[in-house]
Amino acid sequence: MLELKNVCKTFHAGTPDEKKALIDISLKIEDGDFVSIIGANGAGKSTLFNAICGSFVLDSGSIYLGGKNVTMVPEHQRARQIGRLFQDPMRGSAPDMSIEENLALAAGNGGWLSRVSAADKKAFRDRLSLLDMGLEDRMRQPVGLLSGGQRQALTLLMATYHVPKVLLLDEHTAALDPGTAEKVLALTRSIVEENHITCLMITHNMQSALDLGNRTLMMDRGRVIYDVTGEERASLTINDLTDKFRQLSGRALDNDRMLLGVAE
């Protein structure tokens, strides 16, 4: 379970660039929830993820992960329980190292001086074959040689190698071509469902925001303005969402990518 209590963060406080990125956000996400998050650019979606990961220290408020207060736990220590994928497929893996070596770091088995064992290699192979991309036969190749889609799929595998308490997906298919994006999304869905991973997904595609998961949050200017689940959500259409946005934020959606999502 992930819980945020009155989380606030302001960047560049006291300067002309002051930006209230997160304003008094309180959220409770139950185990096994799959939450899609939508909102215009600058709404605070990624900042929310950064707060959960510990990329910065909160101005106020607290974050609980699995019942433990992690508000002041450093980023790399929280990472043990959090998996995260970014829009940029290059961010999740080390290009100069082989697929096997990247997976070894994600697996993190053994002590500092241990080496990748034959059993590890076998396990990596089995996991890679689930991706159905032929990567299991390229384990010794540097990750830098993979395509964006392959790298994102590998990152997904690394982020979920040990089932995380929460998986954060930050538009992780937005930089991929439509066919590959679909494949990575299908993979995400099957891995998340199979392991019952609690998952938060930022997306600009309103249709997938409604199709995937069991709860949708709409963010605007640092606040969660709409939080919908259950039957109300099941009956929502994309047009309902844009209407909702206009009604709650007092302005029209100005995000081209989201509107394009409507046109599709």
Least distance between another protein and beta carbon 111 (Å): 7
Evaluated on CA atoms 232, 252, 208, 52, the torsion sign reads negative
Least distance between another protein and beta carbon 79 (Å): 4
Least distance between another protein and beta carbon 228 (Å): 30
Least distance between another protein and beta carbon 186 (Å): 23
165/121 Cα distance (integer angstroms)? 25
Residue 74 or 134 with smaller CB distance to another protein? 74
Query: How large is the C-alpha radius of gyration of the chain?
Result: 19
Dump strand ranges (E) for 171-243.
199-202, 215-220, 223-229
59/245 Cα distance (integer angstroms)? 28
Residue 95 or 134 with smaller CB distance to another protein? 95
Least distance between another protein and beta carbon 96 (Å): 4
Residue 159 or 253 with smaller CB distance to another protein? 159
Residues 142-201 that bind another protein (CB under 8 A): 142, 158-159
Residue 144 or 260 with smaller CB distance to another protein? 144
53/83 Cα distance (integer angstroms)? 9
Residue 83 or 222 with smaller CB distance to another protein? 83
Size of the site for another protein (CB under 8 A): 33
Burial 59-74 (b: 16+ CB within 10 A, else e): eebebebeeeebbebe
Query: Closest by alpha carbon to 193, among 214, 172, 216?
Result: 214
Q: For the chain, what's the residue count?
A: 264
148 by Cβ neighbours in 10 Å (0-12 / 13-18 / 19+) ranks as middle
97 by Cβ neighbours in 10 Å (0-12 / 13-18 / 19+) ranks as middle
By rule CB under 8 A, what string of x and - marks binding of each residue 85-124 to another protein?
Answer: -----xxxxxxxx---xx-xxx-xxxxxxxxx--------
Residue 109 or 229 with smaller CB distance to another protein? 109
Tracing tokens 């392991």 back to the chain, one arrives at 195
Any contact of residue 57 with another protein (CB under 8 A)? no
Interface pick for another protein out of 6, 26, 77, 195 (rule CB under 8 A): 77
Residue 139 or 228 with smaller CB distance to another protein? 139
Least distance between another protein and beta carbon 76 (Å): 5
Residues at the contact surface with another protein, assessed by CB under 8 A: 74-77, 79-80, 83-84, 90-97, 101-102, 104-106, 108-116, 142, 158-159
